[in-house]
């Protein structure tokens, strides 16, 4: 496992999405396994101010004992989403000296794995709500992901009430290929033999061939949200931001893909200064994705003291 920590010439806000596979595994002699400790040690190195977690499998047990262990390990305040039929709840952590928390909303219906949804505010802009969402979209159903994405759009609709938006997680489907560095999957390839996975991740095209699911990305971008990785690659000269985050070593499923993604509102995207894909292969089948914001610019953005970035146009990239 390797990680590269960067320093910046100004105060920053760091947001990380991290799917730690099955929460590192079950307890051993009443304590989390070494993978869990290794994961949290690496996350602590990167010092997130917002951490969007997926697969907090064992964090609800014994009065949320492992959730509270994570709070102590990271120096952050943690929240859990509802259990869901997937039994791998999402979580969300914030740094309490950076953000004040105002509300947590329980989301249960329609979701295989309900998101963790809180409303917080940046200390520099206490009157501006920031909707924060950690999600893990359904792995097994294109229709399920479409319904779940439509619920994320309900969170994003709060932008019309002058709220900011920061969210992300494991989308379990692919970005629209426009502007991407990883080529689309050829589902007709003889190397792709996992037929069940194909049905999880595709829809039938007009001619009967299988077409990759990209609804979540298209809908969120279409609503005016922005993908910091695309912004970093095309505006900041950070092409590595578009690296695959999952699917490594799985050629029968189409290989590595960028399914772990962040989205933010059209004002806050202007504050992004870096995006880094963090190698977490020692303890997960997903890499983490770190988005770094200028703290001063983010404060201006949530107050809407800077102009919003126009919607990302998938037709002209």
pLDDT digits (tens, 9 = 90+) for 153-170: 999 999 999 999 999 999
pLDDT digits (tens, 9 = 90+) for 168-211: 999 999 999 999 999 999 999 999 999 999 999 999 999 989 99
The number of residues in the chain equals: 317
Report pTM. 0.96
Residue 317 binned pLDDT confidence (cut-offs 50, 70, 90)? low
Encoded tokens for 92: 């969300």
> At a CB cut-off of 8 Å and minimum separation 6, what does 242 contact?
180, 181, 182, 229, 230, 233, 258
* pLDDT reported for residue 1: 39
Beta strands in 157-278 (DSSP E): 164-170, 202-204, 210-212, 260-264, 272-278
* pLDDT reported for residue 227: 98
* pLDDT reported for residue 315: 82
> At a CB cut-off of 8 Å and minimum separation 6, what does 3 contact?
42, 45, 46, 278, 279
pLDDT digits (tens, 9 = 90+) for 18-76: 999 999 999 999 999 999 999 999 999 999 999 999 999 999 999 999 999 999 999 99
């Amino acid at each position: 496992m390797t990680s590269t920590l960067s320093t910046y010439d100004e105060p920053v806000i760091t947001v990380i999405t991290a799917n730690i596979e099955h929460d590192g595994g079950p307890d051993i002699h009443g304590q989390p396994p070494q993978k869990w400790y290794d994961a949290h040690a690496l996350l602590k190195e990167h010092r997130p101010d917002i951490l969007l977690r997926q697969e907090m499998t064992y964090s609800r047990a014994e009065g949320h004992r492992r959730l509270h262990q994570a709070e102590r390990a990271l120096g952050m305040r943690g929240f859990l989403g509802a259990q869901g039929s997937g039994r791998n709840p999402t979580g969300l952590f914030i740094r309490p000296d950076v953000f004040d928390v105002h509300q947590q909303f329980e989301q249960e219906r329609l979701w295989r794995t309900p998101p963790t949804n809180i409303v917080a505010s940046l200390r520099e802009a206490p009157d501006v709500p920031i909707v924060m969402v950690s999600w893990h979209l359904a792995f097994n159903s294109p229709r399920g992901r479409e319904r779940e994405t439509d619920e994320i759009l309900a969170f994003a609709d709060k932008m019309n009430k002058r709220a900011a938006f920061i969210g992300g997680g494991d989308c379990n489907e692919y970005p629209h290929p426009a502007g991407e560095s990883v080529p689309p999957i050829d589902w007709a390839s003889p190397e792709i033999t996992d037929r069940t996975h194909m049905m999880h991740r595709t829809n039938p095209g007009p001619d009967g061939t299988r077409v990759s699911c990209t609804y979540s990305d298209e809908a969120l971008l279409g609503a005016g949200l922005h993908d910091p990785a695309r912004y970093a690659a095309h505006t900041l000269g950070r092409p590595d931001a578009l690296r695959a985050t999952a699917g490594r070593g799985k050629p029968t499923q189409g290989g590595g893909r960028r399914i772990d993604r962040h989205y933010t509102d059209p004002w806050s995207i202007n504050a992004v200064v870096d995006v880094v894909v963090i190698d977490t292969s020692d303890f997960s089948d997903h890499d983490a994705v770190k988005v770094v914001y200028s703290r001063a610019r983010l404060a201006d953005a949530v107050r809407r003291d800077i102009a919003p970035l126009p919607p990302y146009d998938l037709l002209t990239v």
